[in-house]
Amino acid sequence: MEDIISLCKRRGFIFQGSEVYGGMAGTWDFGPLGVSLKNKIMSEWWNFWVEKRDDMFGIDAAIIMNPRTWVASGHTATFADPLVECKNCHGRFRADKIANGITESVTTEEFQSLKVKCPTCGKTDWGPIRKFNMMFETHIGAVLPDDKGEIAEKSVAYLRPETAQGIFTNYKNVVDTIYPSLPFGLAQQGKAFRNEISPRDFILRDRECTQMEIEYFVHPGTWEENFEKLLKENHYFLEEIIKLPKSKIHDLEVPASDRAHYSKRTVDFMFDYPNGEEELMGLAYRTDFDLQNIARESGKNMEYRDKNTGESFVPHVIEPSIGVERLILAVLSSAYTEDEIDGNKRTVLKLPENLAPYRFCVSPLLKNKPELVEKAREVYAMLREKYTNVTWDDSGNIGKRYRKQDEIGTPKCVVIDFDTLEDDTVTVRDRDTAEQVRIKIAEL
């Protein structure tokens, strides 16, 4: 993990949030290469799930929503983690993450009986477990405190802790405007905010993240077959489109005691990260929990009328949900490789070609030879026009350029030399094998 973090900082993938001011725990900024990788992953997801399907539709809901949203969804009452404080150093931690074999529902007695050592001071003197709601609170409009210095409750709102509720609150709008046939899905990509007690493990657990979620609306009697279908399709996306190693992905059937309050079945896709097995994404059968809650809270009818049978019912929902940052870390950790070329150690990111920030790097063999630079610029312009994600590099010797491009995951390096001026061929070097071939410029 430390090697990956170092590479991300050194090569401009990911920086600590607000680093110039000392940083902000649980926040991360994406640099030029990182945002390119992130956008490519999000584009592949959108293309696979929305653009290429007839049963999926996209939306983009507001981040700040009516507070009644979170009352209806249960987040106001239940979106909480077990917070425990060390009486000695006053460090605060999430109880289920510093002790083995316990869940979020752990009691004070159960936790204290384990004699868990404080990660900071090593003591075992703990206070009671308290439930800590992870929603970020804000205030809407021109807010002024009253004579007692208190803020009016009606001004309170929250930064959304998930993108799902923006989909559910727009379900009726979509049905009323485009009336899709069941089953159909609504997809959304966007920011979500969770006030994590102890963010850690780089971008694996942070306070501001980007989610990609689908709410797939089905007839109640068909949820099982649709669940299995989505399970297979998510594996296909992760393994064939994003190219994650199949051996590193494990399905975990979540027991009832550990499932979210709205779920009747959940399968977590676990991934072998550098720090161990962690959740990559989840697939949850939410029944009609959300739509029924919205109906009660809003007084609006959430029923769907079947086009063929005329039957009216509230659809059930299956939700594939994935955090972009977790997927990025899975991609980076799978691609990170250390090997030897001609007896020299190198670090290489073996990124899939569809995700690599640059597809080609174009270089003149020598930057002080105008004729080579001019020809290289022609090749660069041609490839840039065709592929867009092409970079130029003429710094240092050719060996150093290769090492740099290996580290940032560029699949091919194209070098213009003196032979190019004679026969219009260039050297193309492969990132993974370091093999070089000569081909015609027209064939690039």
Mean pLDDT of the 14-19 span: 92
The whole-angstrom separation of Cα 433 and Cα 444 is: 18
Determine if the peptide bond prior to 320 is cis (ω within 30°). Answer: no
State residue 73's pLDDT score. Answer: 83
Q: Is the distance from CB of 103 to CB of 257 less than 8 angstroms? A: yes
pLDDT at 96: 81
**Between 133 and 45, residue with greater pLDDT:** 45
The lowest-confidence range among 4-13, 33-42, 251-260 is 251-260
* pLDDT score of 342: 79
Reported confidence tier of residue 144, pLDDT bands at 50, 70, 90 = low
DSSP one-letter string for 246-283: GGGEEEEE--GGGS-TT-SEEEEEEEEETTEEEEEEEE
Query: Rounded CA gap, 178 and 188, in Å?
Result: 17
Cβ-contact 432, 350 below 8 angstroms: yes
User: What pLDDT does 351 receive?
Assistant: 97
Among positive and negative, which fits the CA dihedral 108, 112, 117, 121?
positive
Whether 143 contacts 151, CB under 8 Å: yes
Q: List, in sequence order, the alpha helices (H) in 395-438.
A: 398-408, 418-423
Q: What are 262-311's pLDDT values in tens digits? A: 888 999 999 999 989 999 999 999 999 999 999 999 999 999 999 889 99
> Reading across the β-sheet that carries 56-58, which strands appear in turn?
56-58, 184-193, 208-218, 316-323, 276-287, 265-273, 249-253
The yes-or-no answer to whether 2-67+165-332 and 358-443 have a common fold is no
pLDDT, position 44: 98
> Rounded to an integer, what is the distance from CA 180 to the centroid of its chain?
28
β-strands 390-392, 360-364 pairing: parallel
Q: Which residues pair with 250 in a beta bridge?
A: 270
Tokens of 173: 């709008």
pTM for this entry: 0.87
What are the strands, taking DSSP E only, across 31-142?
Answer: 56-58, 80-85, 92-94, 130-133, 137-139
Residue 148 has pLDDT above 70, yes or no: no
Q: What is the mean pLDDT of the chain?
A: 91
Q: How confident is the model over 175-199, as pLDDT tens digits?
A: 999 999 999 999 999 999 988 877 7
* Predicted local distance difference test score (pLDDT) of residue 137: 85
Is the pLDDT assigned to residue 372 strictly greater than 70? yes
DSSP, residue by residue, 211-230:
EEEEEEEE-GGGHHHHHHHH
- How far from each other are the two terminal CA atoms of the chain, in whole angstroms? 36
Q: Where are the domains of the chain?
A: 2-67+165-332, 358-443
Fold of domain 358-443: Rossmann fold (3.40.50)
Q: What is the mean pLDDT of residues 149-175?
A: 85
Output the CATH code of domain 2-67+165-332.
3.30.930.10
